[in-house]
Chain A
Amino acid sequence: MSERAAKIPPAEEEQDGDPITDSAAPDAVAETADSETTDPVTTGAEAVVRALENAGVEYAFGVQGGAIMPVYDALYDSDIRHVTMAHEQGAAHAADAYGIVSGEPGVCLATSGPGATNLVTGIADADMDSDPLLALTGQVPTEFVGNDAFQETDTTGVTTPVTKDNTFASDSDRVGSDVSEAFALAREGRPGPTLVDLPKDVTNGETDREPDAPTVPDTYQVQERAESDLVAAAAERIENASRPVMLLGGGVIKGDATDACREFAIEHEIPVITTMPGIGAFPEDHELSLEMAGMHGTGYANMAVTHCDTLLGIGTRFDDRLTGGIETFAPDAEVIHVDIDPAEISKNIYADYPLVGDAETVVEQLAAAVDESPEATKWRAQCQQWKSDYSMAYDAPEDKPVQPEFVVEALDEATGDRAIVTTGVGQHQMWACQYWTYTEPRTWVSSHGLGAMGYGLPSAIGARLAADDDQEVVCIDGDGSFLMTLQGLSVAVREELDITVAVLNNEYIGMVRQWQDAFFDGRHSASDYGWMPEFDKLAEAFGAEGFRIDDYDDVADTIDAAIAYDGPSVIDVHIDPDANVYPMVPSGGDNGQFALAEEQL
């Protein structure tokens, strides 16, 4: 392929190359950081890998293939640990989870065509959840692009709607800097996925140009501080509130604003609700915590969000699963909305006090501006009353099949406070939200906005590599979700990753079955598997440790053994197939009218 690289017109190289030298002084980077310790780059592919190394990348997740081979060849000599995944979707999810847990962009690689399209689910997931992710995809040589060549897909075209930004690399001299810039864009401001498409001639092409440092382009601007007059007005509103709540979204965790938010809430005794991505932003065992609001949020959180008069929403995009029907969402509340992305302000819910800026910075601004705590003693008592009225206590008779809530609580009990939970999507995910008590940020890893079944196992792999050694990683999965990506077990075994997968197995696509019972006259169209492989035995075939739970008596000991096993373990937990998730606000419904049982829907 190298002969194609030589065909790049020299004039174009000069045109594209000169401004880079002028503006960003890559030579300085090369001299100070690299050339003393590492060999100079000789190809585009080496520049790509050098860009990752310069950015501090430690892990990459991917699958080999024709068009990405030059990059893999350069990776062969790098200290970056590459985890070969079983499927590109898994690579994207693993990188996404790595980004959630570490706070630094996770990196995934795939070849052109099917490799790239298989990444799309994971990229879309990262886009919906604003997770920092860098995807590098191989592409057919530039001269073949547009000819429907073997394994050619218009990757930038396909991924434009689901990336924060993407780039088609067109020049071997520039490709390293393209990767640097994409890495910076994934991380800065509101995080998100970026992609660089790497034609094989560009990665094979010769260059001695060291990549620029990872910086965002000039056109990308982030407002860190909210305007002081708006902060003052919002602070006054908080002081005068009689029914205040804080609603903490995923942006609180991504913006490392957890401590600032906790201090603010505790100082002013404001009840705290989280969104699903915001789980872990506030300790759920604190008396001010009302836990999660929304479709399957707690009754008390939904009552509080419905009846509050002042809602301080931080790092949340007011997703429909949170708000229910817009008409009935916090209808008496003046909304103070803190977000780093101006486009989220008043997108779904009108912000009376729009505070654009970094979550931690703005909360600190608010903390400085609020002189008196709101007088909300009565409101706090009301919230406590709701906590007792709408307790999450569930029925678990000994003579019935194991209830899933019990299993989630047992897993929580068997692990430390900083244990990381990953999930697939569906009923098991909601039980994992509701019945695990989260106290720390970056311990809840899930597919929120996209709702991608199959997220659980690959994300556990990514989370494991980002987590500290003393943090357990538990994947609470569903049988349907697990079946979608369980080939990732081969990766977990090969890489000797200590993760525990608990499959809450009801042999249904359970959430669909629950909706069919509620809204489709119980007609279980295509939701009833009726049969599932024996996941414990399947795990053994992969070389993982398999366990099975059928009765309450098995639960504690089996979980202890699975957690204790040093390596990947799978527990096939046969739960009550008729178990449902409550409370529930039907789609577009009124949060305050959540159902506690099916007949209330």
Chain B
Amino acid sequence: MKRGLEGPPPEERPTPAGRRNKQGIRIDPEVEATHEPRRTVISALVEHEPGVLSDVSGLFSRRQFNIESLTVGPTEDEDRARITIVVEEPDPGIDQVEKQLRKLVPVIAVRELEPDAMRRELALVKVAAADPAAVSAVADMYDATAVDSSPETATFEITGSRQKIEAAVETFSRFGIREISRTGTTALARGTDRTAAPGATAQSADEANHNETSQTADDD
């Protein structure tokens, strides 16, 4: 018996000219635009209750979102915590990060911060202190505060933008870095602009689609 169904075989069928890219966006096959990953800061206001951090980190791992850092801490309201996430994703990915975060029930509000938002990170850098004067001079350059010293080591606290901390770490490295611990970025929006506030939560359909503005998160 004949197996399968009747009908024109694939090669005899008309085929459309268009294509979509991997993100499901229709493209001109001649000039395929690609969405490059960019680094940005997403701030989420959440209910301060057990399990929220694990929900958020689980979401990132499950959906393969590329995160650079995630910090969490209390806010002016003791029932709420703020989570600050630095992600590196193409625009559609950033859009998904925001929307998937918003779907978690304990999450109150989510937004991507403007490129001019204030971003700060703290690092503890423990260096070999064979040459205390030179070490101290580098520390001064970066407004680093000595928090501990021993005959063999000196530990500094550096606060600032990610770039500043990376520059400091690089400069300190000539003395021999024994250990580093960094907090990851925390951030707030500037001026009266609210970082992620309840009320501004219902996502409009406009926002529901891709945000086409391409911001780059320059550290200040």
Say whether A and B bind each other.
yes
Chain A residues with a Cβ under 8 A of chain B: 156-157, 160-161, 164-165, 168, 185, 217, 219-221, 223, 226-227, 230, 299, 303, 306-307, 318, 326-329, 331-333, 341-343, 345-351, 354-357, 389-395, 397, 400, 578, 580, 582-583, 590, 592-598, 600
In contact, A351 and B209 (Cβ under 8 angstroms): yes
CB distance from A330 to the nearest CB of B (A): 8
Q: What separation, in Å, do the CA atoms of A57 and B62 have in the docked complex?
A: 33
CB of B24 within 8 A of chain A? yes
Q: Which of A160, A331, A346, A348 contacts B55 (CB 8 A)?
A: A160
CB of B141 within 8 A of chain A? no
Q: What separation, in Å, do the CA atoms of A218 and B32 have in the docked complex?
A: 43
CB distance from A398 to the nearest CB of B (A): 10
In contact, B16 and A349 (Cβ under 8 angstroms): no
Q: What separation, in Å, do the CA atoms of A156 and B123 have in the docked complex?
A: 34
Contacts of B92 in A (CB 8 A): 346
In contact, A598 and B3 (Cβ under 8 angstroms): yes
In contact, A355 and B16 (Cβ under 8 angstroms): no
Contacts of A168 in B (CB 8 A): 50-51
12 contacts between A and B (CB under 8 A): A161-B62, A165-B104, A220-B105, A342-B205, A343-B103, A345-B208, A346-B208, A348-B24, A350-B210, A395-B2, A583-B5, A595-B10
Instruction: Using known A-B contacts A219-B106, A592-B15, A593-B10, determine if residue A326 contacts B210 with beta carbons closer than 8 Å.
Output: no
Within 8 A of A (CB), among B58-102: 58, 62, 92, 95-96, 99-100, 102
Q: What separation, in Å, do the CA atoms of A375 and B35 have in the docked complex?
A: 36
Q: Which of A185, A326, A582 contacts B20 (CB 8 A)?
A: A326
Q: What separation, in Å, do the CA atoms of A543 and B100 have in the docked complex?
A: 48
Q: What separation, in Å, do the CA atoms of A393 and B207 have in the docked complex?
A: 46
Interface-forming stretch among B114-122, B152-160, B183-191, B196-204?
A: B196-204
Question: Which residue in chain A gives the minimum CB-CB distance to B99?
Answer: A343
Q: What separation, in Å, do the CA atoms of A28 and B24 have in the docked complex?
A: 51
Q: Is the interface of B mostly helix, strand, loop or mixed?
A: loop
Q: Which of A160, A220, A345, A400 contacts B54 (CB 8 A)?
A: A160
Q: What separation, in Å, do the CA atoms of A598 and B104 have in the docked complex?
A: 44
In contact, B9 and A331 (Cβ under 8 angstroms): no
Q: What separation, in Å, do the CA atoms of A221 and B203 have in the docked complex?
A: 9
CB distance from B3 to the nearest CB of A (A): 6
Q: What separation, in Å, do the CA atoms of A355 and B15 have in the docked complex?
A: 29
Contacts of A306 in B (CB 8 A): 15-16
CB of B173 within 8 A of chain A? no
In contact, B4 and A390 (Cβ under 8 angstroms): no
CB distance from A349 to the nearest CB of B (A): 4
Q: What separation, in Å, do the CA atoms of A161 and B103 have in the docked complex?
A: 13
CB distance from A272 to the nearest CB of B (A): 20
In contact, B203 and A342 (Cβ under 8 angstroms): yes
In contact, B105 and A327 (Cβ under 8 angstroms): no
Instruction: Using known A-B contacts A299-B5, A343-B99, A596-B9, determine if residue A318 contacts B24 with beta carbons closer than 8 Å.
Output: yes
Q: What separation, in Å, do the CA atoms of A590 and B202 have in the docked complex?
A: 37
Contacts of A230 in B (CB 8 A): 205-206
Contacts of A347 in B (CB 8 A): 96
Contacts of A221 in B (CB 8 A): 201-202
Contacts of A598 in B (CB 8 A): 3-4
In contact, B54 and A157 (Cβ under 8 angstroms): yes
Q: Which of A333, A343, A357, A580 contacts B100 (CB 8 A)?
A: A343
CB distance from B192 to the nearest CB of A (A): 24
Query: How does the 8 Å CB contact mask read for B40-64 relative to A, with 1 for contact and 0 for none?
Result: 0000000100110011001000100
Since A346-B95, A350-B24, A395-B1 are in contact, a sample of 8 more A-B pairs with Cβ atoms closer than 8 Å, ordered by chain A residue number, is A219-B106, A318-B24, A345-B205, A345-B208, A351-B209, A389-B8, A390-B7, A597-B4
Instruction: Using known A-B contacts A350-B210, A356-B205, determine if residue A393 contacts B6 with beta carbons closer than 8 Å.
Output: yes
In contact, B10 and A343 (Cβ under 8 angstroms): no
Question: Which residue in chain B gives the minimum CB-CB distance to A334?
Answer: B26
In contact, B18 and A331 (Cβ under 8 angstroms): yes
In contact, B16 and A331 (Cβ under 8 angstroms): yes
In contact, A341 and B9 (Cβ under 8 angstroms): no
In contact, A596 and B6 (Cβ under 8 angstroms): yes
Q: What separation, in Å, do the CA atoms of A305 and B201 have in the docked complex?
A: 35
Contacts of A160 in B (CB 8 A): 51, 54-55, 58
CB distance from B79 to the nearest CB of A (A): 9
Q: What separation, in Å, do the CA atoms of A57 and B7 have in the docked complex?
A: 50
Q: Which of A226, A355, A357, A600 contacts B9 (CB 8 A)?
A: A600
Q: What separation, in Å, do the CA atoms of A226 and B104 have in the docked complex?
A: 22
CB of B174 within 8 A of chain A? no
Q: What separation, in Å, do the CA atoms of A416 and B204 have in the docked complex?
A: 44
Contacts of B105 in A (CB 8 A): 164-165, 185, 217, 219-220
Instruction: Using known A-B contacts A303-B13, A580-B3, determine if residue A328 contacts B26 with beta carbons closer than 8 Å.
Output: no
Contacts of B24 in A (CB 8 A): 318, 326, 329, 346, 348-350
Instruction: Using known A-B contacts A168-B51, A389-B8, A600-B10, determine if residue A400 contacts B99 with beta carbons closer than 8 Å.
Output: no
CB distance from B25 to the nearest CB of A (A): 4
CB of B144 within 8 A of chain A? no
Q: What separation, in Å, do the CA atoms of A156 and B50 have in the docked complex?
A: 11
Instruction: Using known A-B contacts A219-B108, A346-B92, determine if residue A354 contacts B209 with beta carbons closer than 8 Å.
Output: yes
Contacts of B203 in A (CB 8 A): 223, 342, 356
Q: What separation, in Å, do the CA atoms of A217 and B23 have in the docked complex?
A: 33
Contacts of A331 in B (CB 8 A): 16-20, 26
